[in-house]
Chains A and B, each alone.
Chain A
Amino acid sequence: MARITAGVGCSHVPAIGVAMDTHITDQPYWQPVFAGFEKSREWMKENTPDVIFLVYNDHCTAFDASCIPTFALGCAAEFQPADEGWGPRPVPVVKNHQKLASHIAQSLILDEFDLTIMNEMDVDHGLTVPLSVMFGEHGPDDEWPSLVIPLAVNVVQYPAPTGNRCFNLGKAVRKAIESFDEDLNVMIFGTGGMSHQLQYKRAGLINPEWDKAFLDRLTADPVGLSKTPHVEYLREAGSEGVEMVMWHVMRGALNDEVKEVHRHYHVPASNTAVGHIILENV
């Protein structure tokens, strides 16, 4: 039987990918960002999952304004790194566990989550940056150590799905994975955030107290945390901070009791507070 062993929360700032791709991670600006992932990479080596269920958002790359699915599940055999305006990232093609993905699609829809199914999709920094920070540098001719099932969540056009909906989706994802016959170690990633605002006159907003409380409540009060209203993210964590609803999918898929094995928080990476947490099922 497939099972979920751990969850990872992780920012997906595009500039982090650029720093890795241009080999400037040792620069004083970037060094503290990457230092916090050293332990994570060790942990990933010791616990390499067969499959990562990766919750992220597409930044108008696979979906432009003409089509905005709230939840889109990647069911293709593989996903190419996308050209986001400056050429594709030099990272491996992302390979799916296609049988598990289609099983999850079917299970979720029967569980009343009305998914969009993607049989063709390029993936942007939202998906590839978390893989890069967790696995370290991998070039276009390498392979990622794990298969990846992408779930793209709309957080660009308001409203994103509620935190509560995301949390319950996480529970349904778990149910789907646990009803799959193959013996697989699956991890779930929730990505995006933490506090940041990219636009207009309030750009640059960072709220470390709010971010810290969010990380604390992932273990102490996950259900209460998932009820956070959208306006609180927008006001307290910046207009783009609402991405953090995606962390609730990850948390919803884990046990009620989890162990925090690692945490990292740093300001800034470009416009953003970088946040990261590893939670193991106990």
Chain B
Amino acid sequence: MDKDYEDIPGTFVFDADRSREGYHLNQFCISLGKQKGRDAYTADPEAHLAKFPMTEEQKQAVRDQDWNRMLELGGNIYYTAKLAAYHGINFQNLAGLMTGMGVEAYRDMMLHGGRPIEGNRYKKEWGEEE
């Protein structure tokens, strides 16, 4: 199927293919949305992770808190944000980490109107392959 949204830079569109790939990773993350899941993860992180049949790469990204890697492996931001919240990171600070800008510079960019659309529509504008 032709995907007309694949040429947007710095963006993963969470479509059915990504959803399939990331299913167990996302279900792990969402388990932390409830106190029971948070308690289980705190008590024994590896035992809680083992309940979800993720790939070893996905598990390692969780252990490393590698937010971009999780997205590359099928994670979705609304799910990974639950893991971030578990670690005390809110949406804005998470964006600061994912963009590589750092929390301060990112917050400052948002206060000055955010990331402009000019130059950010197409991968070719970022010097990336389409």
Are B11 and A204 in contact, CB atoms less than 8 angstroms apart?
no
Decide: A236 and B30 in contact? CB cutoff 8 A: no
Q: Is the beta-carbon distance between A157 and B33 smaller than 8 angstroms?
A: no
Shortest beta-carbon distance, B100 to chain A, in Å?
Answer: 7
Chain A residues with CB under 8 Å of B15's CB are 157-159
Complex Cα distance, B41 from A75, in Å, reads: 34
Interface string of A12-56 (1 = CB under 8 A from B): 001100000000000001000000000000000000000000000
Residue in chain A with minimal CB distance to B86: A85
Closest to B77 in A: A199
Pair B30/A83 contact, Cβ less than 8 Å: no
Chain A interface residue count: which class?
35 or more
Across the interface, A65 reaches (CB within 8 A) one of B9, B23, B98, B100, namely B23
B10, B82, B90, B113: which contacts A200 (Cβ < 8 A)? Answer: B10
The answer to whether A158 touches B14 (Cβ under 8 A) is yes
A270 to B121 Cα, complex, angstroms: 22
Structural contact, A201 and B9, CB atoms closer than 8 A: yes
Per-residue contact bits, chain A 186-220, to B (CB 8 Å; 1 contact, 0 not): 00000000010111111111111110000000000
The answer to whether A204 and B4 touch (CB under 8 A), given A197-B11, A199-B77, is no
Contact flag A201-B68 (CB < 8 Å), given A60-B30, A85-B32, A85-B33 = yes
Chain A residues positioned under 8 Å from B81 (CB to CB)? 85, 198
* A239 CA / B76 CA spacing, docked (Å): 11
Report the interface size for chain B: residues with CB under 8 A from the other chain.
50
Query: Looking across the interface, which residue of chain A has its beta carbon closest to that of B113?
Result: A267
B73 at the A interface (CB under 8 A)? no
Beta-carbon contact of A60 and B16 below 8 Å: no
Within 8 A of B (CB), among A206-253: 206-210, 230-231, 234-236, 239-240
Docked-complex contact A198 and B11, CB < 8 angstroms: no
Would you list which residues of chain B between 75 and 130 have a CB under 8 Å from chain A?
A: 76-79, 81-82, 85-86, 90-92, 94-95, 98-100, 106, 109-111, 113-117, 120-121
Does A84 make an interface contact (CB < 8 A)?
A: yes
Beta-carbon contact of A204 and B99 below 8 Å: yes
Q: Is A234 a contact of B92 with CB atoms below 8 Å?
A: no
Which of A159, A207, A209, A273 counts the most B-chain CB atoms under 10 A from its CB? A207
The yes or no answer to A115 lying at the interface (CB within 8 A) is no
Decide if A86 touches B85 in the complex (CB within 8 Å).
yes
- Given the contacts A200-B98, A204-B114, A85 and B27 also touching, CB distance less than 8 Å: no
- The residue on B at minimum CB distance from A234 is B5
B58 beta carbon closer than 8 Å to chain A: no
A10 to chain B minimum Cβ distance, whole angstroms, is: 18
B13 at the binding interface (Cβ < 8 Å): yes
Instruction: Note all chain A residues with C-beta closer than 8 A to B76.
Output: 60, 65, 156-157, 199
Instruction: Please name 23 pairs of A and B residues whose Cβ atoms are closer than 8 Å in the assembled complex, sorted by A.
Output: A15-B92, A60-B26, A60-B30, A64-B27, A64-B30, A65-B76, A85-B85, A86-B85, A198-B91, A199-B12, A200-B12, A200-B71, A201-B68, A202-B115, A203-B115, A204-B110, A205-B115, A206-B110, A206-B113, A206-B114, A235-B8, A270-B90, A271-B92
